[in-house]
Amino acid sequence: MPLKDDVAQLKAELAQLQSLHLSQQFSLSRQLAEFSTKLDTLSQQIATEDASDTTVSMAAVSMTAGAASIAAVVPATDNAPTLTYAIHTPILESAPVAPVPVEPNPWQQNAVQGDPWQRNTKNTSAEQVAKTEYQAQGQQLSDEVKLQASVQVASQFDDLLSQGLAAIMAPFGAITEQIKSFYHHYQAKGLGPVFLMTVAGIITLTLGFGYLLQYSINHWFSELGKALLGFASANAIIAGGIFIRQKRTGMADFGSGIVGLGLILNFLCAYFIGPYFEIIPNSASFILLLLITLAGYGLSMRLDAKVIAVIALVGGSTAPMMLLSQSYAPLLYLPYLLLIGAGALAQSRKLKWPLLVEITALLHIGCIEAFSYFVPLPLTDFGGGSLLALISINATFYLYGITGLIFTKQFTHQDKQPSNTLSHRILALPIALLAFVLFELTQFTEFAGEIFAVNALICAALYWQLKSRLEKSRSGLLLVFAGSFAGFAALYLLSHDFLGLVLLLEALLLLWIGTKEELVSVRAEAYVLLLMGLGLNAFSVLDSMTLLESSMLDALAISPLSAFGFSLIALALSCSALVFAIRLLTFTNAPLSALEHQLCRILKELLSGFYVATIILAAYLLSSDYYFVILPLVSLLLLYLSAKDKLVISEFAAWILLLPLLFKVVEGITLTDSFSFSAQPLMAKLARIELFTALLLAHYWYRRHYKDALFAKAAYSMQICCYLLLPLILLPKVIRNYWEYTAIALWLSTFMSLGLAYFVKHKSLNIEAKILTWLTVMMTASLCLIHAWQGLAALTVGALFMGFTLLRYRQLPETWRPLLQLQWQLSPYYFALVLAVIVYGFNHSELVGIAMTALALSGYFALLIQRGVSQRPVSQASHSMKLILVAEIQAAIKESYHLAYGLTLGLALLPIMLHFEITLGLNRDNASFVLIEFLSLALLARLILQHGAAIRLHRRILPLQGLKWGWHLLLALSYFIWSYSFDNMIAAPLSAILLVIHGSVLMFISLKPQNADMIRLAAGLFILSTLKVLLLDMASFELVQKVIAFMLIGVILLTVSYFYQKARNRLQQD
């Protein structure tokens, strides 16, 4: 079948590809081995010959050519399977197969991504070939794209973390990296196990040799023989190592290790014959150790071996410490270390290995620190040894720090690193040395301040001498050292009071130099010194406060000027220093980092704080009792500074400064136990006025100068609160001392609140004006009720205001109408209050006055509601009534028309209800009550008979028929009450007769079709009259009363029956 044939052909091609791939892999392995041999040969030539720059460049060219040849072979071999497969692919048209992907070339990848010496093996199984379809390739590509973002973020984070750790652990990390590089170097050659075995062998052989020396000294040779045997063995090992390094090809590193082992054994022998068994004196041991170290340096320079240099350095530096406990001149150890350091520096330049300087510096720092435990400190004997020790400590700093900066060039990423380039980690070493010298000199001598000053001058002189030879970053370090030494010298030599000013002066000088010369390191030290000086000057104020308080407790006469005078000068100079520093950073041409820009902003915040401290302290010295008065102006200054440079902390501090004024107000209230303004002390009064004024005016400043401020909305809210309190300021005083004038004061507060609401245009002020209006009206009514003339005066003021509002409201601008809407709607009721006060005031009887007032108000509201809801416009209604005032009142009462209608009916009922409180008599009060009841009933009757708009509007609640029945029942109640005002002999028959007459009249009224339902009310009155007579009156009637009552009732009923029947017949005929 065709399909089977295709499968067989594919299998044959797969076998061919496997064989071809194996042959290519074998060829590549052979070429790699040749390339490794060539590299070893080149390294051996470089080690044995002092090759010139021409030789190095030729070696680089040969290496590049070799790499290029291999790179040329690998792509060809990798592409071969693909081409072969592509030739056979078009034959299989029915089942196309995707081409095999090309193997990635390890020689063209970055060295960080993988090990170029390790080649990935290829899986050539049938299953793997089947998975190389287009769909699998697309899926793999999408996965790589998805992971790209996360890998990039992770790599950036790793870079930042590694950079931070490298900056912190730079000196120590260098040693670890060098050890790792040694191991990776041997591992790259395939000699990793050999390297580990060599190290292990050196260590074990050293231990064994040590124990051999100990055993031989105890059992075998004489003292001289033992020493000669040990040194002979050690030197023989050195000679063997030199022979292996020079005569055996590819064994240079192994030979260096053997030479190092010999040096170690020499140091071990010197230890055993010296301090351990005391075969030779300590002075001879010291000289022997120095000679061994020098020999090690010589071998290192002769053989150009780094391992030998490190072993000589470590052995020569640490071995003499074993002699310190028994030495008569231990201070000579410091010059000894200095000599070793000089040799290490020479070795570093000879070997072109700057890491050796780092190792030497760190090792000697540890040695000197350990040495400090063997000698009593500080040094009291200022002889030659002590002077030489101090000079050695200072020289250590200049040897490793300054010399390294002079004899090396700065590494840049754009250029290739030259052979004598100092590692970037060495830049962290001078800082460590500076801290070391500062710390050690303070322990070794009491004259550290003078030594620091001399070092500052030396570093400054070196800067001016070497700034043309060094890069700016390195010459700037000299200024950093000079500034540091000068600062610590000031700390030791000057008084603590002047220390802050000196640090500020030094910081400004360094900042000026750093900006002019564009030295970042110098500016960094200037920032540190500036902050230290500012902190010391600020702390001096606290010291002055403590001094003043202690003088008060000890009864010592110290004036505030004596205590705070110098602190005030320090604060003022601090402000000047900050201004100068900010101007330098603002107008400099040097590029500033983002951190420096943030620091400049912090300096501006600090400047605001020092301004505040200076002004308040000056005000305190002028007047210790009233210095709080200056706080609002200081707060305004902070707001100005915050608006100028967008300073958030200064703005917050401006509001915080108002809290002391609030505390003064609370303190005044607590001391006087009163909220009265007049009872407060003067400072509390001033605090109230200033706090209120500041909160009131703050928003205007924000609106003009700093609209987008953080506290702009808070300032607006505070201003509204002040505006709400402004109309109420005088009310507590008036209520407490002049309560009779409360209504007038409330009217004034209302007018003020309306004015503020008009100008400020805030809803809360409008609400306050409405609340004050209600309170004012109620207070005015209360004062009028107790017949106080102040109430009448307030009533007059309110009437003028309400009258103006009523007449001019609809002609006012649109801005005033929302504010006066409540007063306009309330004006009709306020005039009702005026009418009630007038009517009530003309009556001497209370009940009559209340009844007459109710009648007058009922008539007043009945007049208002007559045409209140009309289909015609208000202008036509006012024209028909010819009363402009009534027309305006009707327009105002529209919104509360239901209330006016209810008041009309309710006030009309009040006189009849009050009838129970009077007794019958022939006097003016009874006559007035009769007239008032009659007028009330007449008013209600007229209102019902007119069937006006009010009744039509409320017919669902109170229909017209119900109003008629109610009026007749009210009439029956009225004459019923009046009849029982007489004696019971007259009242009982009279009330029955009046009920019958009333029912008879209702019968005639019911003859009209619209009043037909009145027949039921008439029947009800007849039934009520009958029941009253039979059940109540009959038992108490006398014979005469019975005759009169029954005869009159009978006559009335018959007469009414006759005329009612006659009228009914006539109506039926019509």
pLDDT digits (tens, 9 = 90+) for 59-76: 333 333 333 333 333 333
Compute the distance between CA of residue 114 and CA of residue 464 in angstroms, rounded to an integer: 49
Query: Are the CB atoms for 175 and 358 separated by under 8 Å?
Result: yes
Residue 378: C-alpha distances to residues 338, 394, 541, 986 (Å): 21, 16, 34, 133
Distance CA 574, CA 590 (A): 24
Say how far apart CA 22 and CA 124 lie, in whole Å. 11
The DSSP annotation for 823-850 comes to HHHHHHHHHHHHHHHHHHHT-SSHHHHH
**Is residue 877 pLDDT above 60, yes or no?**
no
Mean pLDDT check: name the lowest of 62-71, 443-452, 1003-1012. Answer: 62-71
Task: Label residue 534 by pLDDT band (50, 70, 90).
Answer: very high
For the chain, percent of residues with pLDDT exceeding 90: 8
pLDDT band at 1064 (very low <50, low <70, confident <90, very high): low
Q: Domain ranges for the chain, please list them.
A: 2-105, 494-624, 625-728, 982-1070
What's the rounded mean pLDDT across residues 414-430? 49
Pair 632, 690: CB distance under 8 Å? yes
Residue 608 has pLDDT above 90, yes or no: yes
How many distinct helices (H) and strands (E) make up the chain? 41, 0
One DSSP character per residue, 417-452 reads PPTTPPPGGGGHHHHHHHHHHHHHHHHH-S-HHHHH
969 near 912, Cβ under 8 Å?
A: no
Residues of the chain with pLDDT > 70, as a percent, come to 65
Q: Distance between CA 221 and CA 244 in Å, rounded?
A: 30
Residue the block writes with tokens 């002020």 = 765
Which amino acid belongs to residue 560?
Answer: P
Q: What is the mean pLDDT of the chain?
A: 73
Q: Which of 371, 470, 465 is CA-nearest to residue 430? A: 470
Separation of alpha carbons 44 and 687, rounded Å: 90
Give the Cβ contact number of residue 1011 at 10 Å.
Answer: 15
Q: pLDDT tens-digit profile of 905-933?
A: 888 787 777 766 555 555 566 667 678 77
pLDDT digits (tens, 9 = 90+) for 992-1003: 777 777 777 777
**Distance (Å, whole) CA 250 – CA 432:** 40
What pLDDT, on the 0 to 100 scale, is given for residue 575? Answer: 94
Mean pLDDT of 849-865: 83
CB 265 within 8 A of CB 209: yes
The more confident residue out of 339 and 35 is 339
Query: In this model, does residue 40 exceed pLDDT 50?
Result: yes
Planar angle of CA 380, 386, 392, nearest 5 degrees: 140
What's the confidence (pLDDT) of residue 50?
45
Average pLDDT estimate for 19-37? 68
pLDDT of residue 915: 64
Amino acid 874: pLDDT: 45
**pLDDT confidence bin for 278, thresholds 50/70/90:** confident
Q: How far apart are CA 556 and CA 534, in angstroms?
A: 30
Q: Are 643 and 706 in contact (CB under 8 A)?
A: yes
Beta-carbon contacts of 635 under 8 Å, excluding residues fewer than 6 positions away, are: 654, 655, 657, 658, 694
Residue spans of alpha helices (H) in 304-447 = 306-318, 333-351, 355-371, 384-397, 403-406, 428-444
Mean pLDDT score, 125-153: 46
Model confidence at 162, pLDDT cuts 50, 70, 90, reads low
- What secondary structure letter does DSSP report for 106? G
Kindly compute the dihedral angle of the four CA atoms of residues 255, 257, 262, 267, in this order, to the nearest 10 degrees.
160
Model confidence at 337, pLDDT cuts 50, 70, 90, reads confident
Residue 551 has pLDDT above 60, yes or no: yes
Residue 361 binned pLDDT confidence (cut-offs 50, 70, 90): confident
With cut-offs at 50, 70 and 90, classify the pLDDT of residue 325: low
Query: What pLDDT score was predicted for residue 1033?
Result: 60
Location of structure tokens 């001498």 = 465
Kindly report the backbone phi and psi dihedral angles of residue 304, in degrees, each rounded to the nearest multiple of 5, phi listed first: 55, 50
Distance CA 30, CA 35 (A): 9
pLDDT tens digit sequence for 464-495: 888 777 776 677 778 778 888 887 887 778 77
pLDDT digits (tens, 9 = 90+) for 676-701: 777 888 888 888 899 999 998 888 89
Q: What is the pLDDT of residue 555?
A: 60
- Which of the four pLDDT bands, split at 50, 70 and 90, describes residue 760? confident
* Whole-prediction pTM: 0.55
Among 57, 11, 190, CA closest to 117? 190
Q: What are phi and psi for residue 977, nearest 5 degrees?
A: -65, -40
Question: Alpha carbon 926 to chain centroid distance?
Answer: 82
The pLDDT of residue 425 is 52
pLDDT at 212: 67
Q: What is the pLDDT of residue 296?
A: 82
pLDDT of residue 967: 80
Section 955-978 average pLDDT: 74
Q: What Å distances lie between residue 76 and 83, 118, 160, 820, CA to CA?
A: 10, 19, 40, 98
Query: Would you call 849 exposed, middle or buried from its count of C-beta atoms within 10 A (0-12, 13-18, 19+)?
Result: middle
Residue with token string 């507060």: 749
Q: Does residue 380 register a pLDDT over 60?
A: yes
Residue type, 1063: A
Q: Kindly list the distances between the CA atom of residue 1002 and the CA atoms of 407, 991, 1029, 1056, in Å, as whole numbers in the listed order.
A: 135, 16, 20, 11
Angle ∠(754,759,765) on CA atoms, nearest 5: 45
Q: Look at residue 970 in the predicted model and tell me its pLDDT.
A: 78
